[in-house]
Structure 1
Amino acid sequence: MNVAGGVLPVAAGVALLVFAVRMAREPRRLSNAVWLGVALLLTALWLLRTAWHLEWLTPVLLGLLGVVAVLVALVLPAALIANGVRMWRREGRSAGNLLSLGLGAGLVTLEALAFAPLGRWGSAVVAIAAVLAGYFGFLFLSLLVYSVVYSRLGRRGGFDAIIVLGCGLDGDRVPPLLAGRLDRAIRLHTREATPPLLVVSGGRGPGESVSEAEAMHGYLRERGVPDELIRREDQARTTEENLRFSAGLLPADARRVVAVTSNYHVFRAAVECRRLGLPFHATGSPTASYFLPSALLREFAALILHYRRTTIAACVLIIGAGVAVTIFA
C-alpha cells in the first residue's frame, strides 16, 4: 500500500514532465492532450488515495463520488439529448448536428443494458462497450482541457498575416458563426501598428449564391478594412484546403501567421497546420453555448479519424482483452 502511494505521485510527475517537454517542443500535437490527461488522472488518483485514509474526509469523498456518479449516469445523458433536440430544431437534421442526441441516447441504452440479464457473452459485450466509452471519454476530456491550455499559449500580436477560415453562408449573407471569426480577425488586425494582410478563405457550397471568400470580403470592407489588405481564396471546401490554398496567397516574408476560426475548432486547425508543415498557429472566436456540445464532438471525431490507426489499435486491444477475460475467467 505504501509502495502504491509512492508510485502514483512519481508517475504523475513523470507524465507531467513528459507533457511539458513535448508541449515546449511542439504545442500542436494531439499526444500532448493525452499526456496531460494521464498526468491529471494519476494526480487525481493519488489525491483520492491520500484523502481516503483521512477518516474525517471519507464521508465527503463518498458524497462527491455519489454526485459524480449521478452527473455521469443521469445528468450527462439527459443534457446531451436535450442539446441534440435543440440542435435539430435550430440547425437542421444533419449528422453533425445530431451527434449529441446520438451520444446521449447511446449512453442511456448502455446503462439500461448494464442491468439487463444478458448472459455471459451479452454482459461481456456491454462491459467492453463501457470500457470503450470510458476510453473515448478520457480522450475527449483530455482534448477539451488541452484545447483550453493551447488557446492561452498563442501569440497575441505581431502578425504578418491573418487567415480567416470559412464555415458556410446563409445564401449570400455572413451568419453569426462566421461573423464571430471575422470580428475576431478585425480586432487582431486593428491592434497592430502595421496592419497585417487578411486572407479570407472559403469556396461556394450548396445553397450559397456566392463564395464564402466573397461574402467575407464584403463584410470586412463594410467595416473599414482597406481593400488592398484583403486577399480572397475562393476554392477551399475543407479545413485542409483553407490552410493550404491560403498559404499560397501569402507574401514570401509573411512568417508570423495566425489562422482565425471558432474556439471549438482552434486545436484541430492547429493540428492540421502541423500536418501540412505550415508554421501557423490558430486562435478562436466565441461560439453560442448551445452549439458547442455538437461542435466539440465533431472536432473530436475528426481528430480521431486523423489518428485512425492508433484508434483502431486501441479498440482492438480493448476488445481482445475483453474477449480473453470472458473465455478464461
Structure 2
Amino acid sequence: MTLLVPAAVFAILYVVSRRRDARRLRNGVFLVGALGALLLAGVLELAAASALLQLVVVLGFGLAGVLILVLAVFLVANGVTMLRLEGRSLGNLLSLLAGLALVALPTAAVLLVFLPARTALPSGVVTVLVSLGVLVFLACLYAAATFAAFGLYSLVYSRYRHTDRPDALVVLGSGLIRGEVPPLLRSRLDRALAIYRSVPVGTRRPILVPSGGQGSDEPRPEGEAMAEYLLAQGVDPADVHPETASTSTRENLVLSREVQHATGRGGSTLVVTNDYHVLRAALLARAVGSDAQVVGSPTAAYYVPSAFLREYVAIMVEHKRLNAVAIAAVVAFVALLTVVSFLPV
C-alpha cells in the first residue's frame, strides 16, 4: 500500500496545478501519475491476497495484451480508411504507422531481451542486444506514458466548464475545399454560433473572429470564407470581424487578439476548434500570454485517431528539448548499466 503515497502526492499536485491554470500539459502528467500509482497499488494488493486473485491479475495482463492487439488492428484499419477518404499524406499515415509500431516495437523488445541468451552468440554481444531490448522497451513505455498524459487530459480539459458569456469568440480556421467551408470547419463555426445565440436577448453578444489566412492551395483566406458562412447564418455583420493573415494556430491566437483589441473587446475570450485540437490550442494560448480558454466541436469518428496522433506529435515536437533530455537520460542510464556489466566482478 506504499504506492498510495505517490498516488496521493500526484493527485494533490494535479488539483493544485489545475486550479492555477487548466492549460498546462503537466496536469495530464500528474493525473496519469496518480491513476497509474493507484492502479499499480491495487494490482499488487490483489496479487498478494490469494492464489485465486493472482490468477485474476495474470488474466488481466493477458486481456490487456489482447486489447493492445485489437487496438493495433483498429489503428491499421483506420489508417487505411484515412488514406482512402483523405488522401495520401504523412499525417494521414499516422494511425497506420502507430498500429504497426504497437505490435512491432514491443515484439522486438521481447525478442532482444530473451532470445539472445538462447543462442551461441558471445556474451558481450548478448549483453548489448539485451540492453538494446531494454532501451526499446523503455522507449515504448515513455511513448505510452506521454500519450496517456496527453490523451487523457485532452478528454478532461475538453469537458472543462468555461464562461458562457465571453466578450469574443475566436474560431480557428482549417483548410477550405475549393474555397468553401468543409464539414470539419463548419462544425467549429456551428459550435461558435450556438454559444453566440445562447446569450440572452438584450445582453451584449460576443464578437465573432473567424481566423485563418490563405494557404498555398486555397483561392481565398479561410477567415473570409468563415465570415461569409457566419453572415449567411444570420449573424449581425457588426459582430463579425475576420482575421485573414494567420498561417498557424499560434498566429491565429496572436492576430485574433489584435483584432479583438482593435474592436474594443478586450475582455474574456473563448476559442473554438475541433475537440481533438482543444488541448494544444489551450497550451499555445497560454504560451502567447493569452487568458483565452478553448472549447471543442464534434469531429467525424474516423478522423479522430489520426487527428489525436497528429496533435500528440506536434506537442512532442514543441517540447522537444524536454523530451530530448528525458530520452538522453534513459539512454545514458541503460548505457551505464551495460558498461558496468562488462566490468570484472
TM-score between the two structures when normalised by the length of structure 2: 0.89
Amino acid at match of 1:21: V
Higher alpha-carbon Rg: 2
Q: Any conservation in 1 of the 2:91–2:306 contact (CA below 8 Å)?
A: yes
Specify every segment of 5 or more residues in structure 1 that has no aligned partner in the other structure, as ranges: none
Q: Any conservation in 2 of the 1:202–1:235 contact (CA below 8 Å)?
A: yes
Question: 2:243 matched to which residue of 1?
Answer: 233
Shift of 1:112: 4.1
- The 3-state SS of whatever aligns with 2:175 is coil
Question: 1:177 matched to which residue of 2?
Answer: 184
- The 3-state SS of whatever aligns with 1:218 is helix
Where in structure 2 are the equivalents of 1:143-222 lying within 5 Å?
Answer: 143-193=150-200, 194-222=204-232
Q: Any conservation in 2 of the 1:121–1:326 contact (CA below 8 Å)?
A: yes
Deviates more, 1:258-267 or 1:131-140: 131-140
- The 3-state SS of whatever aligns with 1:248 is helix
Amino acid at match of 1:13: A
1:32 counterpart = 2:27:
yes
1:64 counterpart = 2:32:
no
> What is the CA–CA distance in structure 1 between the aligned matches of 2:95 and 2:336, rounded to whole Å?
32
Q: 2:111 aligns with which of 115, 119, 122?
A: 115
How many residues end up aligned between the 2 structures? 323
Question: 1:276 matched to which residue of 2?
Answer: 288
* Inter-CA distance 84–12: structure 2 relative to 1 (3 Å threshold): same
* Inter-CA distance 112–144: structure 2 relative to 1 (3 Å threshold): closer
Amino acid at match of 1:87: M
Q: Deviations over 1:130-184 (max 9, x none)?
A: 2111111111112211112212223140111100000111011111110100000
> What is the CA–CA distance in structure 1 between the aligned matches of 2:293 and 2:314, rounded to whole Å?
18
> What is the CA–CA distance in structure 1 between the aligned matches of 2:44 and 2:197, rounded to whole Å?
52
Q: 2:13 aligns with which of 6, 10, 18?
A: 18
Question: 1:286 matched to which residue of 2?
Answer: 298
Shift of 1:98: 0.9
Question: 2:308 matched to which residue of 1?
Answer: 296
Q: Any conservation in 2 of the 1:214–1:232 contact (CA below 8 Å)?
A: yes
Specify every segment of 5 or more residues in structure 2 that has no aligned partner in the other structure, as ranges: 117-125
Where in structure 2 are the equivalents of 1:118-129 lying within 5 Å?
Answer: 119-129=126-136
Question: 2:259 matched to which residue of 1?
Answer: 249
> What is the CA–CA distance in structure 2 between the aligned matches of 1:232 and 1:115, rounded to whole Å?
56
Deviates more, 1:154-163 or 1:173-182: 154-163
Q: 1:134 aligns with which of 137, 141, 162?
A: 141
- The 3-state SS of whatever aligns with 1:115 is helix
Amino acid at match of 1:140: F
Q: Percent of aligned positions with the same letter in both sequences? A: 36
Q: Any conservation in 2 of the 1:263–1:284 contact (CA below 8 Å)?
A: yes
Q: Deviations over 1:234-281 (max 9, x none)?
A: 111100000000000113443111000000000100100100001100
Q: 1:101 aligns with which of 91, 96, 100?
A: 96
Q: Any conservation in 1 of the 2:106–2:140 contact (CA below 8 Å)?
A: no
Question: 2:317 matched to which residue of 1?
Answer: 305
Question: 2:70 matched to which residue of 1?
Answer: 75
Shift of 1:66: 0.8
Q: Any conservation in 1 of the 2:29–2:149 contact (CA below 8 Å)?
A: yes
Q: Any conservation in 2 of the 1:262–1:287 contact (CA below 8 Å)?
A: yes
The root-mean-square deviation of aligned C-alpha atoms, in Å, is 1.5
> What is the CA–CA distance in structure 2 between the aligned matches of 1:220 and 1:32, rounded to whole Å?
35
TM-score between the two structures when normalised by the length of structure 1: 0.94
> What is the CA–CA distance in structure 2 between the aligned matches of 1:253 and 1:160, rounded to whole Å?
6
> What is the CA–CA distance in structure 2 between the aligned matches of 1:161 and 1:275, rounded to whole Å?
19
Shift of 1:299: 0.8
Q: Deviations over 1:26-82 (max 9, x none)?
A: 11111111111111111111111122233243333222211001222x222222211
Question: 2:123 matched to which residue of 1?
Answer: none
> What is the CA–CA distance in structure 1 between the aligned matches of 2:82 and 2:155, rounded to whole Å?
24
- The 3-state SS of whatever aligns with 2:242 is strand
